Structure 1
């Protein structure tokens, strides 16, 4: 299913960047610097450290770790969406960092299978950390061969955020729970010059919402089959696509949604230009207080005959994990110190309290300063959870699915063409 981690395979994949293009992204560090051979220097590669949610807490935690371990230096490498590409390039040179903090998605799905990272199950158990992890997270990070790809860390709830004040202004009396109610609410919002549902139809946010809506008529097993194989021809999948097209052509989504990104989506909701968005925990935590206090969280409205009895949300435990590289195995004592520290209840609590992060680890701490994050955690049986397809979509299909998503959000595109675009995304997988 996955191609070997070879120089030709990696550099031809994804963005197609050549090594000379990728190397400067290592925050000013060369690959030689990244692979510090000093056994007293731990090299960590992360997406945290700039504007990513949780970055201030992470950097503060690193400072504390350094103070508690004065004989151990920590080198922090930072990348954004290109982290996987940069890591793979460094691994080809055998100069990869020791620990990688990234989610389970697209390229990373193949890492353990091709030896780019190692099975960490033995370390988790040997270090006595298994009981710190939620069972759902362990299951999500374990591959079909029983290997634990990484130490689970960040999770996320992914409900729908509704600006109650904007709905009231438009004369919408209640949070919509059915497709008909959502269409009626959208018409009233548009009459007041308010965009209904804002969504990044040109990136991963739109891809996730599209998958959520399609699953309206799918059981978990049926959804797993569809997103593993690219077969959207079942009755439930076709009904889900029809439902999406009906909502889209009724004006439910913001104008030109097919060109919007996650940043533009967040801006529209946070500035109250749009009334509704699909918002994962990190987005909920960034909603301004003056907007948050009249925002409610719930699920995506259902259609008649749905496979679910409650409005749906997404939830995942694979947002960020700690992967150990072959180089990290050579410094396993340092890696153990670092992971024990990051798994410590005090460190976990700081991420929850200071950054509003949902965690894949057990904790009694509540996001008191992030009420919408806490509200999403309390939804419980009031919503139905659908499948986040990330761990089932073949890596080669991940980016083509984004293109298919933009096509799908283009008004006037028929259900037949939406299905064809989705299935075409899998042809290279």
Structure 2
């Protein structure tokens, strides 16, 4: 697996790159000489604007400042371009001390090329191992045994069903099989209701496609598939793609799904234009109360002969971690205070109760004000868990896979063509 962020790239570009070269204009992203001040902790995060959990994060950050009056905190905020901005600052050796971002795409290579450090010894030295869920520790540990970041946010990713719309169309139970889903889609369309809305032109469609392809794959087989991209050589993958195509051409997905995004998907579901969506817990937290009251969460329906015995959901513990940079190691005492603060029971509880976030840490708190998030947490053994492909897909194949996903959601595209475009995305890597 290769990343566009390579050790060679660092060595070639590191000496001559200006500190702020190519940095987008974002909140707090000007790099100054105060960033090297041992009494100033620089945190780079996606939290702080409209990202779910941002109000809670800003509130707990204020609390941290109050409890540590001698320590200044500079908060740098980026959206989807955070990884690129961080890499640019790292090339100039002016990177922030702590980075809050997920394990995906570019970040998969960070620890391996020295852009961030192994935090395993800090987890133990700071007495935090017992705070982390075992599955989260496993997810954040690479093949060399390095803990790439302190696990923090997790997410459940079930399927949301608007039972009021289903009942209006004459569907009296949640579909658990492909045939039942196709039947429900026909009844919904007859009432002018879109069946399954999905962002077929972005990451939401990519994840749902990956989930459906896994219908006939065991977890180990799915991991191998998304590492190699051998969609034609895997019998289970071929069957999964055939299943996806049969659902698509039967009208299960929203019209022109290949052009929809996560925003349009969310809008369609939340305004009750569509009856079904695959939604991660941060999206479930945004479902309006009047819609949530007649929404049930479950899994994705299965085909006969599936490798799973229950409808599937996605679940991941790598949504946000606390990464430490080489500059952060120089301010280790400040970093320790920050990480230990965020790991406190009361702080973790605030993210759960105020923002409806799933956490990678132990907590007895529940998302009472976010009923769909809480319901997803209770699904337990009623669903089976499919593999989230993020940590297996080669980083440079991620964006080509989005393009391939759009092609896959285009009605009439053959299963052979879907396999071909998916494999082409890997060959571009």
| Shorter-normalised TM range | over 0.9
Aligned pair count?
Answer: 422
What does 1:15-414 align with in structure 2 at a 5 Å threshold? Answer: 22-32=22-32, 36-233=35-232, 234-414=234-414
Classify 1:106/1:19 alpha carbon distance in 2 versus 1 (closer, same or farther; 3 Å).
Answer: farther
Runs (4+) of structure 1 exceeding 3 A deviation are 3-10, 18-22
In structure 2, the residue corresponding to 1:31 is in which secondary structure? coil
How far apart are the structure 1 equivalents of 2:256 and 2:21? 33
Is this contact kept in 2: 1:3–1:9, CA < 8 A?
no
How many angstroms does 1:381 deviate by? 0.5
Classify 1:19/1:204 alpha carbon distance in 2 versus 1 (closer, same or farther; 3 Å).
Answer: farther
How many angstroms does 1:23 deviate by? 1.4
* Residues 26-70 of structure 1: CA deviation (Å, up to 9, x unaligned): 42532336x701110000000000010000000000000000000
In structure 2, the residue corresponding to 1:104 is in which secondary structure? coil
Classify 1:95/1:246 alpha carbon distance in 2 versus 1 (closer, same or farther; 3 Å).
Answer: same
How far apart are the structure 2 equivalents of 1:5 and 1:122? 25
TM-score, normalized by length of structure 1?
Answer: 0.96
How far apart are the structure 2 equivalents of 1:220 and 1:311? 14
- Name the residue aligned to 1:2: 2
How far apart are the structure 1 equivalents of 2:100 and 2:201? 25
In structure 1, the residue corresponding to 2:115 is in which secondary structure? coil
How many angstroms does 1:4 deviate by? 7.1
Is this contact kept in 2: 1:25–1:79, CA < 8 A?
no
How far apart are the structure 2 equivalents of 1:269 and 1:414? 28
In structure 2, the residue corresponding to 1:173 is in which secondary structure? coil
How far apart are the structure 1 equivalents of 2:327 and 2:120? 17
In structure 1, the residue corresponding to 2:108 is in which secondary structure? helix
In structure 2, the residue corresponding to 1:196 is in which secondary structure? strand
How far apart are the structure 1 equivalents of 2:89 and 2:6? 12
Is this contact kept in 2: 1:100–1:325, CA < 8 A?
yes
Classify 1:4/1:306 alpha carbon distance in 2 versus 1 (closer, same or farther; 3 Å).
Answer: closer
In structure 1, the residue corresponding to 2:313 is in which secondary structure? strand
* Residues 156-198 of structure 1: CA deviation (Å, up to 9, x unaligned): 0000000000001111111000000000000110111110000
Classify 1:40/1:28 alpha carbon distance in 2 versus 1 (closer, same or farther; 3 Å).
Answer: closer
Is this contact kept in 1: 2:45–2:77, CA < 8 A?
yes
Q: Which structure 1 residue ranges, 5 or more long, are not aligned?
A: 11-17
How far apart are the structure 2 equivalents of 1:6 and 1:383? 39
Is this contact kept in 2: 1:25–1:86, CA < 8 A?
no
* Residues 389-429 of structure 1: CA deviation (Å, up to 9, x unaligned): 10001101111111110010001100000001111111132
Is this contact kept in 2: 1:26–1:86, CA < 8 A?
no
Classify 1:4/1:79 alpha carbon distance in 2 versus 1 (closer, same or farther; 3 Å).
Answer: closer
* Residues 313-336 of structure 1: CA deviation (Å, up to 9, x unaligned): 000000000000000000000000
How far apart are the structure 2 equivalents of 1:133 and 1:221? 24
How far apart are the structure 2 equivalents of 1:28 and 1:315? 32
Instruction: Quote the RMSD (CA, aligned, Å).
Output: 1.6
- Name the residue aligned to 1:425: 425
Q: Which structure 2 residue ranges, 5 or more long, are not aligned?
A: 11-17
TM-score, normalized by length of structure 2?
Answer: 0.96
* Residues 81-117 of structure 1: CA deviation (Å, up to 9, x unaligned): 0000000000000000000000000000000000000
Classify 1:211/1:6 alpha carbon distance in 2 versus 1 (closer, same or farther; 3 Å).
Answer: closer
